Amino acid sequence: MKKSKKKKVGFFSSLVNQIRKHKVTFAVFVLLRALVITAMVFSAISRNYENLFVSALSLLLFLVPAFIEKNFSIKLPTALEVIILLFIFAAEILGEMNSYYTRFPFWDTMLHAINGFICAAVGFAMVDILNSNTKIKFSLSPFYLTVAAFCFSMTIGVLWEFFEFGCDMLIGTDMQKDFVVSSISSVLLNESGLNKPIIIENITSTAVNGTALPINGYLDIGLIDTMKDLFTNFAGAVIFSIIGYFYVKTRGKSKFARHFIPTVDDKND
């Protein structure tokens, strides 16, 4: 009994210390969690089980930063942790449940840019931690360290596009959003069989099985959206890679970069 009481006291004292150290993160966490729980309640009342699942998933994802800090002795900067929490809320609750992806054309683009930035920061930290460890014979120049962070971010972006494509093909979702274009270029339209594309411009309507679609042009299925997402991820990764490069060059003197790069928690509270 005494041991269990001591464990409880130790747990609550540790929790209080964490709250004191990360007041901003805790406030954001509580606010977002309250909003998600509210959304979950309304989803349950309206029997919208898909939104109920998304809400439950969001609550689970909110715990990931704290889980990483506690179990892997990694210290996440307050700014990075807040961005991750807001990113989850913006992607799942606002994007999926409230249809922000279709209401606001820039929403998906914004999230992919942030994703590229965050993943580059994580990839950078993973290699930099090894690079700074004197016990491990592992040393990379600032340039190669930056390239490693950039490649990690782009790999995550590509894997996510694989996931979207898989869901669209196997489940019939529309994660890779369609685009309406006014011109196409395709070798399949070349009746001679030559590898020379036939260009059709000024397309104003499209028909499927004799039925006209309610769009003013040709429906591109997913390709433009995928490339747009990858280019946006690329932009976010490049921005952080440049920041990370000068961070290593000045050996951690950049105050701005410190807000986004995870480090090893030596104290391991």
Query: Using one digit for the tens of pLDDT, what is the confidence trace for 134-190?
Result: 666 567 788 988 999 999 999 999 999 999 999 999 998 888 988 899 999 999 999
State residue 221's pLDDT score.
Answer: 87
- Return the pLDDT at 263: 85
Residue 58 maps to a domain? yes
At residue 230, the pLDDT reads: 96
| Polymer length in residues for the chain | 269
User: Domain limits at 196?
Assistant: 179-220
pLDDT at 129: 81
- What is residue 269's predicted lDDT score, i.e. its pLDDT? 46
At a CB cut-off of 8 Å and minimum separation 6, what does 152 contact? 119, 120, 122, 123, 124, 126
25 and 137 together in one domain = yes
Low-confidence ranges of the chain (pLDDT < 70): 1-22, 133-138, 252, 266-269
Q: Are residues 108 and 199 in the same domain?
A: no
Tell me: do 84 and 193 sit in the same domain. no
122 and 32 in a common domain:
yes
Answer whether residue 199 is part of any domain: yes
Whether residue 214 is found in the same domain as residue 226: no
Q: Distance between CA atoms of 97 and 46, rounded to whole angstroms?
A: 13
Which uninterrupted H or E stretch holds 181? strand 179-181
C-alpha 260/C-alpha 147 separation (Å) is 17
Same domain, 241 and 202: no
% residues pLDDT > 70 (the chain)? 88
Same domain, 163 and 209: no
Domain assignment present for 3: no
- Do both 101 and 152 map to the same domain? yes
| 20 in any annotated domain | yes
On whether both 125 and 170 belong to a single domain, the answer is yes
**What three-state secondary structure class fits 65?**
helix
The total domain count for the chain is 2
Is residue 241 within 8 Å of residue 261, measured between CB atoms? Answer: no
Tokens 């892997």 sit on residue: 72
Same domain, 100 and 160: yes
Q: Tell me whether residue 49 is in a domain.
A: yes
pLDDT of res. 140:
76
The answer as to whether 269 is a domain residue is no
Q: Which residues lie closer than 8 Å to 89 by C-beta, 6 or more apart?
A: 32, 35, 36, 58
Do 195 and 97 fall into the same domain? no
Regarding whether 187 and 167 lie in a shared domain, the answer is no
Q: Is residue 102 part of a domain?
A: yes
Query: What is the reported pLDDT for 14?
Result: 55
